[in-house]
């Protein structure tokens, strides 16, 4: 009997620029090699349609209401993705990790998901020298039973 796939929620800011697509794809290749089923928020078509439709409305109260609705819908889709996942893998590169990605780690840890981080950025951005991330982000990852990886090749995931 084949191993059951691990359901991974891939938290990242990598969809904000198409230039990041190859990096995101390399991460997903690694996850597929580890027999993972991937929930990538950037691939949720209904979310993209709603955001695009809201942004196409002329400035004004109708546009503001549509953007608020699209944002709420997006948050709900992502929350369902997190609830349905076995674990979370968060891409935490940058001078300061993306606030949405960090929120996904916090939410995932809060609902009992094992959380892992990927930080290939060699710069520390934590509260103390030698700490690669904000101390709470590292704490939530480690307290959940996960760990921080420093390269894509290093990723090894275990749901429990």
pLDDT tens column, 37-82: 999 999 999 999 999 999 999 999 999 999 999 999 999 999 999 9
Which of these, 135, 157, 160, lies nearest to 36 by C-alpha position?
157
Which of these, 15, 137, 151, lies nearest to 88 by C-alpha position?
137
User: What pLDDT was estimated at residue 60?
Assistant: 96
- Work out whether strand 6-11 and strand 87-91 pair parallel, antiparallel, or are unpaired: parallel
φ, ψ of residue 44 to 5 degrees: the values are -85, 100
Domain ranges of the chain: 6-41+83-154
pLDDT tens column, 128-137: 888 899 999 9
User: What pLDDT was estimated at residue 127?
Assistant: 83
CB of 32 within 8 A of CB of 8?
Answer: no
CATH class as words, domain 6-41+83-154? alpha beta
* 3 state SS for 120-149: CCCCCCCCCCCCCCCHHHHHHHHHCCCCEE
- Whole-prediction pTM: 0.94
CB of 154 within 8 A of CB of 89?
Answer: no
Percent of the chain, pLDDT > 70?
A: 99
Percent of the chain, pLDDT > 90?
A: 90
Residue 24 has pLDDT above 60, yes or no: yes
User: What pLDDT was estimated at residue 1?
Assistant: 43
Residue 2 has pLDDT above 80, yes or no: no
């Amino acid at each position: 009997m084949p191993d059951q796939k691990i359901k991974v929620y891939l938290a990242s800011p990598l969809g904000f620029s198409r230039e990041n697509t190859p990096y995101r794809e390399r991460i997903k290749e690694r996850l597929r090699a580890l027999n993972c089923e991937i929930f990538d928020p950037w691939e949720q078509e209904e979310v993209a349609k709603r955001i695009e439709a809201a942004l196409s409305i002329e400035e004004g109260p109708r546009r503001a209401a549509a953007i608020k609705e699209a944002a709420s819908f997006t948050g709900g889709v992502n929350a369902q993705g997190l609830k349905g996942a076995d674990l979370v893998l968060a891409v935490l590169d940058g001078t300061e990790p993306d606030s949405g990605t960090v929120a996904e780690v916090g939410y995932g840890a809060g609902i009992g998901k094992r959380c892992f981080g990927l930080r290939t950025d060699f710069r520390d951005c934590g509260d103390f020298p030698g700490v690669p991330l904000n101390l709470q982000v590292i704490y939530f990852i480690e307290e959940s039973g996960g760990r921080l990886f420093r390269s894509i090749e290093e990723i090894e995931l275990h749901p429990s």
